[in-house]
Structure formats: C-alpha cells, structure tokens
C-alpha cells in the first residue's frame, strides 16, 4: 500500500469539499461521491480509468466511540474506491480523504478481479446476440438466426475456471430463449455457455456440452396475471384487502439515519456490498443506555449448485462479494413491497464514469403488528383476570435481485429486546434444459417439461460485532444435556435431570462449531465482566438459529475453498479493522487458494477470543431441492435467525408496553359489564355480524 500524504496535493481541490454528514457512519452522499470520483480522476489524469465501486471507509470502532464521547468531533471522512484502468490487468484501489479532496492511499492488485456491477452485466446480451458463433449455437439449439433478439442470458461471474484463472474479467452467460417480451425465459434454457470478457466486450469461448439438447417446444411457463387469466379464466376473487393502518403515524423517530424505536437506538447504513448495515445498537433500559451490538450485516453468501456435470460445477454464486447486495437492490414501492406507513432511505453508488447513481427507496422502514407479545389469564375466575399485550415490530428491509433469485432481507426489532434477521427467498429457479427422455435426478428435478432445476444451497454469513453491555465480550455454545448421572444414582434418582451445558470459547479453533439438533445447540455472546443480579449469569444475547445445513460441496472443492466461512455454523475471531468480508475483498475469480478472508483471520487458531473485542460469524441457510411448486415463480421461502436477550434484563423488559386488554382479579370481581374495551384497536370486529363491535370483545358470560 502506498501512503501518499506527500503527493496528496496532486489531486487538487477543484471546489469546496461537500458538507460533512451529521453522523460518521452515514453512507456517502451524491455530493461526496462526485467529489471522490473527481479527486480520483484528477489523480489519474491522462489515464483511462473506470469506476467499479466507491464506498465509505467507516471509522474504526475506537474512532467511532471517540466521536461519541467527544460530543461530535467528526473523524475524517474517508472513502475507498476500486477502479479499472483500460488495458491494465487487475484493479487499483485506494482511499480518498473527502475533506481535503485528496487521494491518500493507492494499491495496484494483479490477479484479482473486482465485483461485477449491474452496468457490467447489462451489455452482455447484446454482445452475444451479434456474435456469429453464438448465433450458430442458437441455430443448432433450434432458435432461428432471425430470432436473436429473443435470446437472453443471465451473466454470472465465471466463479473460477482453471483455463483463465483471474487474468481476464470474465462472465459465463447462462443462455435462454423467449418467444415474446412478456415470456419468462427460464422455461427455455439453451444448452451451451459462452464465456465473455467483460472489459474487451468479446466472446472468448463457448462451452458446448457433449450431449446436445434442443430448446424446448413447450409453451413458456409464465406467471403474470394475463397468463393466469388466459390459463384459468380468472384470478382468485376470494381475498379481501388487508391493510396495515397507523392512524396516529409511526412510533419510530429518525434523526438522519439514526433510528429510535421502543428503547432501541441504532444507525442504519447502506453500502454497495452488504446492503443494510446496522451499527451502534443500544437499548435504553429505564434510563441506562446499554450497548448491544457495534455492527451487524450480511457479509457474504454462497449459492453452490449440486450438479457435477461440466460446466454446471461452476455455478456457485457468492452474490454479496461477486455482485453486491447493495448494487442489486430494488427500488421498493409503497403498499406492495412493504405495507403501512413507510419511511424510505435512498442508496447512492457511482457508475463506471464516476457519476452518482441513486436507487430510490432502497431501504424500507416500517412497523407491523406482530401477534401476541405476552398474555396470561387466570383459570380461577374463568379467565376474567387477564392481560393481553400485542407486539409491534420494527422492520428495516431491502430486496435484491441476484439475476433469477430475489432475496428479501428483513432486520426486525422487537419490544422485548430481541432482534431477528428474516430472509425470504423468492424469484425464479436457475434452470437448464432437460432432454425429452432424460431423467433429472439425482442432481436436479424436472419442474416443467424440458426444465431441469439443479439442487443447490443458499448459505449466508451473518457478521456480528457484539458489544454486549460494553467492551470485553466472549462467546459460548449452549447444549441441552441430560444429567450425566445414571437413573437410580443419588444425583439423578428418577432420571429426569437435564441442564444447559455452556462451553465458553477461549480460542478461535474452539469456536469453530456446528449446529447440533440433538442438543438444540444455541450460542451466546456475552459480557463476562458483568452479572445479572438475579441469575448471577453474564448479560448475553443468544443466537437461536437452526436452519444451518452443512456445506455439501466436499472439503477441498473450489466451492468450499472459496467460502472458507461456510463449513462452520459459528466462527469467532478477534476484531481487527478490515475484517469485513470472509471470502476476501475481491471475490470474483478467486481460486480459493491462498490465505485471505476467514482463512487468514483463523490462521492463528490459538488467538484469544475470551473477554476481548470479538467478531462473531454465523453461517445459516437452506438446502433447496426444487419441486414443481417452486416454478415458474417461487413462493417466498422463509429463513429466520433470532438474537434474544438472556440474563441481560432483570425481568421481561416489555412489561411496560401498553396492553390491549388488562383486568386484575379485583377489577374482574367488580365488573358487571364483562364487555372489555380494547385500548388500542378500533378496527377489529366480528367477521360475520353486521353490527360493528369495534374495539370490544365479550370475554365470557356468567
Ligand atoms: N446469482 C448469480 C447472479 C447474481 C447477479 C447477477 C447475475 C448473476
Ligand atoms: Cu433456491
């Protein structure tokens, strides 16, 4: 890394630096992006560069906390960039000080390839449509040459292919045909796979399978309302509208990007790669503002496919590191992506030329009813003594489209101090053409005539930087175990004893653990320096997550090497600046060899992780064996990870949430009218009565 303080002035300030934002973790504004790209352009004046990614270089934890303690002396506003230079292999990356409009670090990296941006992907189809060899392959597949405008591709990074390594910036084009603009091409895959040089804009090779398969002659499998009406005569007519209404508006407050909601306070960031980033999450415990998590994000994911036939072995998308959960994020629309009273945040990136681009409504923030928060009734008076409190949840969400799949990301906060990460998978299966007489098994499923959907996994890496009740944190696993003492022994005479076995991790190696369903394994992040006054146990947040399949690709495979984080459900490492991306900084075309990302961070397996500053990585996801119900458009499949306070509070922290109904035993004794008024709901009513009984319900009759 070259430090460039002496030549910082080369990138001369053309105009005043853009205004600093209110908060040091705020994403770069469009003015800051413009300032950064201008600074980089003048630094590289006379050279042909294009921008790949630009993003805020977040202050270190220390600098951030200093800012908080200093009462607002902003740390320098730094931003990192990745650029490509025409004709020069590899990437250049560096750091700009926005305040002084100067480039302060640069580095040239060879044999790495940067993320593929949406702009990089968009030009590929046109390159293919005009290439004579591709046209010839289309004709062989049964698509006439005059139909090239109906040929499409999902341009994937090549993953890793030994023939080219990381020397050229490559895409593999998964090919499809559709006969009409409004068709879904995924029921009509083509059997060959062109390899495209992204920078040269050239087809450099075409992978042709030994067994040829012609394009399907079946009708396209479509899913739009007009297709359903054509097929079934009408859409369903039985569903009446359900609305999320908040007549008095929202109960959260936003100060810029800082959220306050129901005792929680945190910053909402967003970047090209991880998408939503939540930082400095605290909980106001009756006036005592207690830190919980310093930072939390989805740091990587992998979707490895299970068909070993060449070239399908290449399909394993590391969507966050190869394409960016931020770059692929959708602009969300009111009333459909999220319902209710919504606050949106926009996201800003730079295009290849360095101009800012904005995704409107990239992040949706809203509240929803979440069923019961708690309830108890007393059977002694026929349940008249009762308390019923409904939950409201706060949801921070984004949806990104990874070519065929949609990933809907919901960061959820609950009034009892819990947090959840819910992910819904929807969109369209990745498909390959299946011969008329061919069996799709065992590596895939015939989901439609001539359509083979290969087995695959969706694995995510949740990166948590805990700060449970302050600094000095540890991690442990907890296993439900029967008493070790035999039935009939004095310690376990009746054989019923069981307990939670807690194993605190002292070292990185000890922390590398997997989910164990037989013990209902969960993990705790905790502060060993504090004690709950009642239980005597350290304040903790427990990770409850059981959708944790093992990575099915073999150890030593390209998939497993490129996702060195995916073979364990949990890995804990010491925090160090820059430990962000567990498959490395530049993921496309990494062979998986060498020491980087999680492999680098766990190289010292004996490193201490007890009572120190730790990073907790959690791998979760699903294994997906496709079925016809998943096609042509998949009903959303949920995945959920829960973080809940344990020994953190002295009691249920949500007891002060106003109940929908509360009646004490004394009140019940006095009550003559047992119709009980709901305190918070004026819209609930009986379904099959004409008269509205809004806001009340008959509990019982004497
Ligand atoms: N799932 C692979 C992918 C993601 C984004 C764009 C193209 C391909
Ligand atoms: Cu899937």
DSSP letter for each residue of 402-440: ETTEEEEEEEEEETTS-EEEEEEEEE---EEE--TT---
Mean pLDDT of 102-116: 97
Q: Is the CB of 323 under 6 A from ligand 1?
A: yes
In this model, does residue 210 exceed pLDDT 90?
yes
Running DSSP on this structure, what letter comes out for residue 631?
Answer: -
Catalytic choice (154, 161, 319, 585): 319
Contacts of 667 (CB under 8 A, 6+ apart): none
pLDDT, position 16: 85
Q: Are 511 and 505 in contact (CB under 8 A)?
A: yes
Half-sphere exposure of 127 (CA within 13 A, CB side): 23
pLDDT, position 281: 98
The question of whether 604 is a catalytic residue gets the answer no
Ligand 1: centre distance to CA 181 (Å): 21
Mean pLDDT of 665-679: 72
In this model, does residue 674 exceed pLDDT 90?
no
What is the C-alpha separation between 600 and 557, in angstroms, rounded?
18
Question: In this structure, what token pair is assigned to residue 516?
Answer: 């164990």
Q: Are 523 and 568 in contact (CB under 8 A)?
A: no
Q: Are 79 and 104 in contact (CB under 8 A)?
A: no
In this model, does residue 681 exceed pLDDT 90?
no
What is the C-alpha separation between 440 and 450, in angstroms, rounded?
9
What is the C-alpha separation between 192 and 212, in angstroms, rounded?
8
pLDDT band at residue 596 using 50, 70 and 90 as cut-offs: very high
Ligand 2: centre distance to CA 492 (Å): 47
pLDDT band at residue 682 using 50, 70 and 90 as cut-offs: confident
Q: Give the model confidence (pLDDT) of 343-386 as tens digits.
A: 999 999 999 999 999 999 999 999 999 999 999 999 999 999 99
Per DSSP, the three-state class of 129 is helix
Per DSSP, the three-state class of 542 is strand
**Residue of 173, 312, 403 with the most ligand 1 atoms within 8 Å of its CB, for mutation:** 403
pLDDT band at residue 592 using 50, 70 and 90 as cut-offs: very high
CB atoms within 10 A of CB 9: 12
Mean pLDDT of 476-497: 98
pLDDT, position 365: 98
Q: Are 154 and 162 in contact (CB under 8 A)?
A: no
In this model, does residue 12 exceed pLDDT 70?
no
In this model, does residue 1 exceed pLDDT 60?
no
The question of whether 524 is a catalytic residue gets the answer no
Catalytic choice (305, 323, 405, 448): 405
**Residue of 123, 322, 406, 457 with the most ligand 1 atoms within 8 Å of its CB, for mutation:** 322
In this model, does residue 702 exceed pLDDT 60?
no
Average pLDDT, the chain: 94
Domains and CATH numbers, the chain: 2-109 (3.10.450.40), 118-232 (3.10.450.40), 253-646 (2.70.98.20)
Q: Is the CB of 125 under 6 A from ligand 1?
A: no
What is the C-alpha separation between 345 and 363, in angstroms, rounded?
5
Q: Is the CB of 320 under 6 A from ligand 1?
A: no
Give the position, in ligand 1's atom list, of the atom nearest the Cα of 116.
6
Q: What percent of the chain has pLDDT over 90?
A: 91
User: How deeply is 227 buried, as exposed, middle or buried, from its count of CB atoms within 10 A (0-12, 13-18, 19+)?
Assistant: middle
Q: Kindly report the protein residue whose alpha carbon is nearest to atom 1 of ligand 1.
A: 402
What is the C-alpha separation between 396 and 410, in angstroms, rounded?
6
- The pairing of strands 614-624 and 275-285 is unpaired
Q: Is the CB of 97 under 6 A from ligand 1?
A: no
pLDDT, position 132: 98
Q: Kindly report the protein residue whose alpha carbon is nearest to atom 5 of ligand 1.
A: 402
What is the C-alpha separation between 617 and 301, in angstroms, rounded?
12
Q: Give the model confidence (pLDDT) of 511-520 as tens digits.
A: 999 999 999 9
What is the C-alpha separation between 634 and 405, in angstroms, rounded?
9
Question: In this structure, what token pair is assigned to residue 222?
Answer: 């479509």
What is the C-alpha separation between 700 and 702, in angstroms, rounded?
7
In this model, does residue 694 exceed pLDDT 60?
no
Ligand 1: centre distance to CA 548 (Å): 23
Ligand 1: centre distance to CA 292 (Å): 34
In this model, does residue 285 exceed pLDDT 90?
yes
Q: Give the model confidence (pLDDT) of 287-327 as tens digits.
A: 999 999 999 999 999 999 999 999 999 999 999 999 999 99
Q: What percent of the chain has pLDDT over 70?
A: 95
Q: Give the model confidence (pLDDT) of 513-541 as tens digits.
A: 999 999 999 999 999 999 999 999 999 99
pLDDT band at residue 4 using 50, 70 and 90 as cut-offs: very low
Residue with tokens 């630009």: 54
pLDDT band at residue 671 using 50, 70 and 90 as cut-offs: confident
Q: Is the CB of 319 under 6 A from ligand 1?
A: yes
Ligand 2: centre distance to CA 364 (Å): 24
What is the C-alpha separation between 546 and 619, in angstroms, rounded?
10
pLDDT band at residue 494 using 50, 70 and 90 as cut-offs: very high
pLDDT, position 680: 61
pLDDT band at residue 11 using 50, 70 and 90 as cut-offs: very low
Per DSSP, the three-state class of 333 is coil
Q: Kindly report the protein residue whose alpha carbon is nearest to atom 4 of ligand 1.
A: 402
User: Between 123 and 610, where is the model more confident?
Assistant: 610
In this model, does residue 678 exceed pLDDT 90?
no
CB atoms within 10 A of CB 381: 14
Ligand 2: centre distance to CA 623 (Å): 7
pLDDT, position 673: 54
Question: In this structure, what token pair is assigned to residue 383?
Answer: 């349940």
pLDDT, position 697: 45
Phi-psi region of 648 (alpha: psi -120 to 50; beta: other; left: phi over 0): alpha
Give the position, in ligand 1's atom list, of the atom nearest the Cα of 401.
5
List helix spans (H) across 544-695.
Answer: 558-562, 597-601, 665-670
Give the position, in ligand 1's atom list, of the atom nearest the Cα of 404.
1
Ligand 1: centre distance to CA 154 (Å): 7
Minimal CA–CA distance to 614: which of 516, 476, 420? 476
**Residue of 159, 305, 404 with the most ligand 1 atoms within 8 Å of its CB, for mutation:** 404
Q: Give the model confidence (pLDDT) of 120-164 as tens digits.
A: 999 999 999 999 999 999 999 999 999 999 999 999 999 999 999
pLDDT, position 691: 54
């Amino acid at each position: 890394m070259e430090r460039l303080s002496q030549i910082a002035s080369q990138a001369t300030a053309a105009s005043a630096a853009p205004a600093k934002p209110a908060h040091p973790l705020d994403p770069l504004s469009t003015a800051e992006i413009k300032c950064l790209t201008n600074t980089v352009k003048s630094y590289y004046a006379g050279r042909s560069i294009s921008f790949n990614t630009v993003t805020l270089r977040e202050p270190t934890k220390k600098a951030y906390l200093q800012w908080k303690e200093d009462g607002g002396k902003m740390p320098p506003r730094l931003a990192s960039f990745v650029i490509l230079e025409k004709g020069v292999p590899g990437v250049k990356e560096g750091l700009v000080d926005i305040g002084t409009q100067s480039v302060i670090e640069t580095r040239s990296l060879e044999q790495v390839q940067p993320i593929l941006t949406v702009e990089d992907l968009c030009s590929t189809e046109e390159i293919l449509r005009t290439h004579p060899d591709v046209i010839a392959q289309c004709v062989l597949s049964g698509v006439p040459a005059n139909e090239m405008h109906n040929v499409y591709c999902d341009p994937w990074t090549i993953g890793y292919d030994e023939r080219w390594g990381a020397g050229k910036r490559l895409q593999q084009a998964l090919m499809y045909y559709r006969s009409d603009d409004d068709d879904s091409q995924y029921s009509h895959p083509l059997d060959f796979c062109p390899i495209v040089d992204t920078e040269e804009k050239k087809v450099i090779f075409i992978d042709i399978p030994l067994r040829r398969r012609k394009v399907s002659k079946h009708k396209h499998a479509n899913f739009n309302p007009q297709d359903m009406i054509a097929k079934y005569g009408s859409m369903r007519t039985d569903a009446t509208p359900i609305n999320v209404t908040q007549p008095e508006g929202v109960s959260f407050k936003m100060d810029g990007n800082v959220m306050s909601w129901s005792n929680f306070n945190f910053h909402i960031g967003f970047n090209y790669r991880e998408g939503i980033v939540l930082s400095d999450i605290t909980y106001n415990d009756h006036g005592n503002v207690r830190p919980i998590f310093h930072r939390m994000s989805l740091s990587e994911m992998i979707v490895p496919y299970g068909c070993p036939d060449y070239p399908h072995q290449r399909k394993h998308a590391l969507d966050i590191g190869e394409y960016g959960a931020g770059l692929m994020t959708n602009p969300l629309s009111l009333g459909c992506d999220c319902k209710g009273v919504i606050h949106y945040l926009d996201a800003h990136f730079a295009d290849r030329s360095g101009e800012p681009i904005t995704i409107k409504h990239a992040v949706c923030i809203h509240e929803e009813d979440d069923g019961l928060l708690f309830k108890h009734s007393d059977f002694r008076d026929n349940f008249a003594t009762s308390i019923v409190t409904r939950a409201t949840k706060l949801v921070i969400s984004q949806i990104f489209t990874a070519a065929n799949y949609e990933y809907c990301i919901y960061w959820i906060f609950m009034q009892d101090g819990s947090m959840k990460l819910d992910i819904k998978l929807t969109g369209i299966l990745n498909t390959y053409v299946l011969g008329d007489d061919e069996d799709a098994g065992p590596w895939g499923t015939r989901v439609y005539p001539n359509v083979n959907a290969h087995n695959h996994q969706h694995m995510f890496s949740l990166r948590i930087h805990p700060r449970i009740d302050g600094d000095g944190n540890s991690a442990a696993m907890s296993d439900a175990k029967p008493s070790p003492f035999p039935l009939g022994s004095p310690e376990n005479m009746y054989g019923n004893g069981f307990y939670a076995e807690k194993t605190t991790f002292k070292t990185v190696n000890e922390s590398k653990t997997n989910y164990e369903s037989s013990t209902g394994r969960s993990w705790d992040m905790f502060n060993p320096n504090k004690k709950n006054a009642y239980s005597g146990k350290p304040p903790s947040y427990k990770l409850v997550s059981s959708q944790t399949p093992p990575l099915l690709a073999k150890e030593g495979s390209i998939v497993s090497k490129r996702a060195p984080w995916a073979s364990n459900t949990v890995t804990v490492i010491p925090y160090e600046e820059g430990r962000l991306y567990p498959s490395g900084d530049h993921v496309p075309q990494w062979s998986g060899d060498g020491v980087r990302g999680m492999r680098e961070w766990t190289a010292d397996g004996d490193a201490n992780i007890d009572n120190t500053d730790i990073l907790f990585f959690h791998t979760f996801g699903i294994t997906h064996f496709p079925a016809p119900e998943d096609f042509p458009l998949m009903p959303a499949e949920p995945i959920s990870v829960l973080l809940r306070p344990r020994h953190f509070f002295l009691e249920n922290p949500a007891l002060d949430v106003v109940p929908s109904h509360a009646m004490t035993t004394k009140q019940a004794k006095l009550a003559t009218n047992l119709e009980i008024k709901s305190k918070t709901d004026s819209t609930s009513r009986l379904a099959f009565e004409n008269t509205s009984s809004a806001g009340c319900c008959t509990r019982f009759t004497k």
